[in-house]
């Protein structure tokens, strides 16, 4: 993993996020500072405070997008949580420590996937070897003389060539395969407490205990099953790659990654800040959540199913619109832990034009890719793009300002017929400003309709 310099980080972010230069700069510095802190002399390292950030800005201007892209380019485990989803310790609801646990599980998943990718080719070779043996069992070779040996090898080479051409994909083989079980692993992360097996246990106690026992004994339930070659290949590749991957190393690497590279994005932080007027019951509870958040932001140790995770170097990025409350309404200790404040700008029509066209995942590129699958060339005239951007601005002004999200709804509306009718006899579709106006006309002029459709 290469540590990027702030300038490199901003350059990468520029590929996805338009404008918001201040915010990009701040997150780039924060990310780099974490790395710098980790390089610092041990005696001073723990004295250096982390660079947690609060991003302040209206909805749909790129706050989450910046954080998400930052995490992706740093190859960091990343989790986004809503501050309002948490309740104080002792109340029913999610406790804040689950953030760190979920982040850890995500890191394990991430490292596991990387390792799988790394051994994939070898695992595929091994699986193919096993499939060949299943399709064409070799009898004991001991009694064979050299001539026979050679003959068998030749046959096998020919069969292998046919196998590689996919000639046996329709054949059935019998393998020991894991017994299919609904949603055991899916639910377990969501349950209460560490590992949260609550959900399974309540649904089906017998099943649960069986599963727990066999995983304690280190074996999965398997059964001999007949299946077609492609399905068997999937299972065998999985099996071989599990054998090639060192599970302890995966966990070790994941623990390191979560502690040194983890990023937690706390959305809607403004909703747990209390404006100076309110001091009611709900406010007390919000303040409770802030108090609970404090230790993990300050640096504490959280128990997870893979061991203890220190949160000292996890980067926290909070975000909120702060329409009603202000960052200074947060409890002082928490404010102190988010020393960097950065405001994001509202997006202009010009920004919308750029958002539609420039980012790697720009909406126009997305639609073009979709239609490309049907050999249809979708072209937007320059003026049409400007018209879409203008309409987005108009509707945002007239109804509710949802920022760049407006572009999604408008594009859906404009391209609705085209997406429905394709493929037709047209190989090239050009969107003109008139097309844009026409498809939006009846809606944009009617405020109520706009509210529902755009
Ligand atoms: N500056 C931008 N550049 C490129 N795309 C953007 C930008 N701002 C928003 N978008 C697009 O709009 C969508 C919504 O943006 P995002 O999720 O970042 O909003 P947000 O600022 O986090 O809003 P909220 O406060 O509602 O969470 C994103 O999926 C992204 O495609
Ligand atoms: Mg967001």
Ligand 2 mean position, distance from CA 370 (Å):
26
Helices and strands (H and E) in the chain: how many: 19, 11
Q: Which of 12, 22, 64 to mutate to test the pocket of ligand 1 (most atoms within 8 A of CB)?
A: 64
Ligand 2 mean position, distance from CA 267 (Å):
6
Q: What per-residue confidence (pLDDT) applies to 285?
A: 78
The number of beta carbons lying within 10 Å of the beta carbon of residue 71 is 23
CA separation for the pair 325, 19 (Å, rounded):
25
- In terms of Cβ atoms closer than 10 Å to its own Cβ (0-12, 13-18, 19+), residue 429 is middle
CB distance 130 to ligand 1 below 6 Å: no
Atom of ligand 1 nearest to the CA of 405: 12
Q: Which ligand is nearest to the CA of 405?
A: 1
Q: How far is residue 52 from each of residues 27, 28, 427, measured CA to CA in Å? A: 9, 12, 51
Strand partners, 177: 223
Helices 6-14, 63-73: axis angle to 10 degrees equals 120
69: helix, strand or coil: helix
Ligand 2 mean position, distance from CA 255 (Å):
27
Atom of ligand 1 nearest to the CA of 55: 21
Category of 445 on φ-ψ map: left (φ > 0), alpha (ψ -120 to 50) or beta: alpha
The ranges of the chain with pLDDT < 70 are 1-2, 87-94, 139-143, 180-220, 275-282, 284
Nearest to 254 by CA among 101, 119, 106: 106
Q: What per-residue confidence (pLDDT) applies to 184?
A: 47
Q: Which ligand is nearest to the CA of 68?
A: 1
Instruction: Supply the CATH classification number for the domain 6-105+261-343.
Output: 3.40.50.300
Q: What per-residue confidence (pLDDT) applies to 219?
A: 57
CA separation for the pair 228, 173 (Å, rounded):
6
CB distance 58 to ligand 1 below 6 Å: no
Q: What per-residue confidence (pLDDT) applies to 422?
A: 86
Ligand 2 mean position, distance from CA 301 (Å):
28
Q: What per-residue confidence (pLDDT) applies to 281?
A: 61
Q: What per-residue confidence (pLDDT) applies to 189?
A: 39
Ligand 1 mean position, distance from CA 302 (Å):
32
Contacts of 274 (CB under 8 A, 6+ apart): 283, 286, 287, 325, 329
Q: What per-residue confidence (pLDDT) applies to 276?
A: 55
- Contact (Cβ atoms closer than 8 angstroms) between residue 347 and residue 403: yes
CATH 1.10.8.60 in the chain, residue ranges:
349-453
349-453 belongs to CATH 1.10.8.60: yes
Strand partners, 238: none
- Contact (Cβ atoms closer than 8 angstroms) between residue 70 and residue 333: no
Atom of ligand 1 nearest to the CA of 402: 26
Atom of ligand 1 nearest to the CA of 67: 18
- Contact (Cβ atoms closer than 8 angstroms) between residue 364 and residue 380: yes
Q: What per-residue confidence (pLDDT) applies to 140?
A: 65
Q: Which of 65, 347, 360 to mutate to test the pocket of ligand 1 (most atoms within 8 A of CB)?
A: 65
Helices 433-444, 405-421: axis angle to 10 degrees equals 110
State phi, psi for 116 to the nearest 5 degrees. -60, -40
Contacts of 66 (CB under 8 A, 6+ apart): 13, 17, 20, 23, 24, 27, 55
């Amino acid at each position: 993993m290469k540590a990027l310099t702030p300038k490199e980080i901003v350059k990468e972010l520029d590929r996805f996020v338009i404008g918001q230069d201040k915010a990009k700069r701040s997150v780039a510095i924060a990310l780099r500072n974490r790395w710098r802190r980790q390089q610092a002399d041990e005696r001073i390292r723990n004295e250096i405070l982390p660079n947690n950030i609060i991003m302040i800005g209206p909805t749909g201007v790129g706050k989450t997008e910046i954080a998400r892209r930052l995490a992706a380019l740093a190859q960091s485990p990343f989790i986004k949580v809503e501050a309002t989803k948490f309740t104080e310790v002792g109340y029913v609801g999610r406790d804040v420590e689950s953030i760190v646990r979920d982040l850890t599980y995500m890191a394990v998943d991430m490292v596991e996937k990387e390792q799988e990718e790394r051994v994939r080719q070898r695992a595929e070779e091994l699986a193919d070897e096993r499939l060949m043996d299943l399709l064409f069992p070799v009898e004991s070779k001991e009694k064979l003389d050299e001539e026979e040996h050679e003959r068998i090898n030749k046959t096998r080479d020919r069969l292998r060539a046919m196998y590689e051409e996919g000639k046996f994909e329709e054949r059935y083989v019998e393998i020991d395969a894991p017994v299919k079980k609904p949603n055991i692993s899916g639910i377990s992360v969501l349950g209460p407490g560490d590992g949260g097996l609550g959900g399974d246990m309540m649904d089906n106690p017998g099943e649960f205990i069986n599963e727990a026992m066999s995983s304690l004994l280190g074996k999965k339930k398997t059964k001999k099953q007949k299946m077609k070659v492609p399905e068997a290949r999937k299972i065998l590749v999985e099996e071989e790659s599990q054998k090639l991957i060192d599970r302890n190393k995966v966990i070790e690497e994941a623990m390191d990654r979560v502690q040194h590279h983890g990023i937690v994005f706390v959305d809607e932080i403004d909703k747990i800040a209390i404006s100076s007027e309110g001091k009611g019951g709900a406010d007390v509870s919000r303040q409770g959540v802030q108090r609970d958040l404090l230790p993990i932001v300050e640096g504490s140790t959280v128990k997870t199913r893979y061991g203890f995770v220190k949160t000292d170097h996890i980067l926290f990025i909070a975000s909120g619109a702060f329409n009603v409350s202000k960052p200074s309404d947060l409890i002082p200790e928490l404010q102190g832990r988010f020393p960097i404040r950065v405001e994001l700008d509202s997006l202009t029509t010009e920004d919308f034009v750029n958002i539609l066209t420039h980012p790697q995942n720009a909406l126009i590129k997305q639609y073009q890719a979709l239609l490309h699958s049907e050999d249809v060339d979708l072209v937007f005239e320059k003026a049409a793009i400007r018209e879409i951007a203008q309409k987005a601005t108009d509707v945002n002004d007239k109804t509710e300002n949802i920022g760049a999200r407006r572009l999604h709804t408008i594009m859906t509306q404009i391209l609705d017929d085209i997406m429905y009718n394709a493929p037709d006899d047209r190989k090239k579709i050009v969107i003109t400003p008139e097309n844009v106006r026409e498809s939006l006309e009846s809606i944009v002029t009617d405020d109520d309709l706009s509210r529902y459709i755009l």
